[in-house]
């Protein structure tokens, strides 16, 4: 039943099946760009400018082994299945399309700039999962996608993509990194606190586990009154014992047996 409903859900989200005619139509536009740049060999292609071409699909670009910069913004793309062996690609501009799925991007280990704003990405978990393999990714834009409406969206992305330094045109701050650890990694946050407070924090504490009350110790009935009294607050008062203070006459006579004044301490519980 779930498999039967899946196409309907995708169609309602703007998905359309990949058509061979759309792929074929993109080929002359790619070839025209190669002619404009004067490239005669695929190995000489380091960049392709294919923005604003009304593209809904793109031919497989794996033939361009040395491709580093690719502009595909302001088209009508729905997916990314044309980048399979472009391991040298460093910058990819896919903003202002209709992309709802990032399947295929994990094959780009050299990518460090990825623009995906103004698309139709809805699944934040699937998006982050696809981007995790990009260890060199430093700049990422995802704003103006439906997934940005999730609570803590920014911290969630920072937590799962720790290498990203610039997210949605804003620098990732140390405060945000500390916050995302506190929210998404309780164990690590508690260990950090334990180190900061020199081991005074119990690092083995797990906030996700239910709180367990320690079992009450059984106290013999004859000692119950004493135990309750010991649990009460203690109040201590200190004052001068005036009986030990020498009078004026005693000071004048300088009696040898006169002792120094003493303090009187009273403890109440």
**What total of structural domains would you count in the chain?**
2
pLDDT, one tens digit per residue, over 13-25 is 444 555 666 677 8
* pLDDT attached to residue 5: 37
Phi/psi-derived region of residue 263, left when phi > 0, alpha when psi is between -120 and 50, beta in every other case:
beta
Average pLDDT over residues 93-116: 92
Which of 23-32, 46-55, 188-197 is predicted least confidently? Answer: 188-197
Same domain, 156 and 60: yes
Same domain, 56 and 155: yes
Same domain, 164 and 53: yes
Cα three-residue angle 191-194-196, rounded to 5 degrees: 110
Q: Specify if 57 maps to a domain.
A: yes
**Residue 6 — pLDDT band, cuts 50, 70, 90?**
very low
Same domain, 166 and 239: no
Answering whether pTM is above 0.85, one says: no
Same domain, 29 and 162: yes
- Residue 244 belongs to domain spanning: 231-268
pLDDT, one tens digit per residue, over 159-171 is 999 999 999 999 9
Q: Specify if 200 maps to a domain.
A: no
């Amino acid at each position: 039943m779930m498999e039967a409903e899946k196409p309907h859900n995708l169609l309602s989200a703007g998905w359309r099946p990949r058509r061979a005619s759309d792929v074929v139509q993109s080929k002359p536009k790619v070839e025209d760009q190669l002619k404009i740049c004067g490239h005669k060999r695929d190995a000489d292609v380091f960049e392709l400018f294919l923005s604003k071409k009304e593209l809904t699909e793109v031919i497989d670009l794996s033939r361009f082994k040395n491709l580093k910069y690719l502009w595909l913004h302001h088209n009508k793309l729905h997916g990314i299945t044309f980048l399979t062996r472009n391991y040298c690609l460093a910058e990819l501009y896919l903003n202002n399309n209709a992309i709802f799925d990032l399947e295929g991007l994990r094959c780009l280990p050299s990518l460090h700039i990825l623009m995906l704003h103004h698309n139709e990405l809805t699944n934040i978990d699937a998006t982050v999962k696809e981007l995790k393999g990009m260890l060199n990714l430093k700049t990422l834009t995802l704003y103006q996608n439906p997934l940005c409406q999730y609570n803590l969206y920014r911290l969630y992305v920072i937590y799962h993509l720790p290498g990203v330094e610039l997210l949605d045109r804003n620098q990732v701050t140390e405060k945000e990194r500390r916050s995302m650890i506190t929210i998404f990694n309780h164990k690590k946050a508690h260990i950090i606190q334990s180190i900061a407070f020199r081991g005074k924090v119990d690092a083995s504490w797990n906030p996700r586990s239910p709180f367990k009350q320690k079992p009450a110790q059984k106290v013999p009935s004859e000692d119950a009154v004493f135990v309750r009294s010991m649990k009460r607050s203690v109040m201590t008062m200190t004052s001068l014992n005036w009986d030990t203070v020498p009078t004026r006459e005693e000071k004048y006579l300088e009696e040898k047996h006169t002792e120094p004044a003493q303090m009187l301490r009273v403890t109440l519980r």
